[in-house]
Amino acid sequence: MTEEGSTHQLRPSFNERFKAPAVKVLLGSVLSERLADKSYSADGAAQWSKEISDEIKSRQGLKAEFDLPRYKFVVQEHAGHTATESCESLGGRFAGRCLWDHNTDAFAEDSYRNDSLFCVASAYGVYLY
């Protein structure tokens, strides 16, 4: 027990929750900044995926922007070549499944596309009890 009281908090307060709309803005800005001048290459996409995920999770991203010490952040990023037709018309879909508490856990996603590549980034915030 500390001077402030018990540290065993079962739920985050309203201000301590994962803020999906704000995280979506962060995802969009990182994707736009990192991919604006890029052309697709298989080797480049593998490297960008790791760098983008790391940047989103890093001090400049989720950990710095949002002071949520009891949350675990998981970032997933997919990049590919933009075909002459849209990804949807070619049957491209991305999905994620998680087992979580809908009162505390949440996710955000955003995408980026140019003439050469597409990229979809998802960030999951899971509250640690």
Classify burial at 21, counting beta carbons within 10 Å of its beta carbon; exposed 0-12, middle 13-18, buried 19 or more: exposed
Q: Which of 125, 120, 124 is nearest to 30 (CA)?
A: 120
pLDDT tier for residue 127 given thresholds of 50, 70 and 90: very high
pLDDT of residue 63: 75
pLDDT tier for residue 34 given thresholds of 50, 70 and 90: very high
pLDDT tier for residue 88 given thresholds of 50, 70 and 90: low
Lowest mean pLDDT among 18-32, 35-49, 60-74, 114-128: 60-74
Separation between Cα atoms, residue 2 and residue 70, nearest integer Å:
17
Residue 111, pLDDT above cutoff 90? yes
Q: pTM of the entire structure?
A: 0.81
pLDDT of residue 90: 56
Mean pLDDT (the chain) is 84
pLDDT of residue 86: 52
For range 25-38, the mean pLDDT? 94
- Tell me which architecture the domain covering 17-91+100-127 has in CATH: 2-Layer Sandwich (3.30)
Could you tell me which residue, 123 or 4, shows the higher pLDDT?
Answer: 123
8 A C-beta contact, residue 7 and residue 99: no
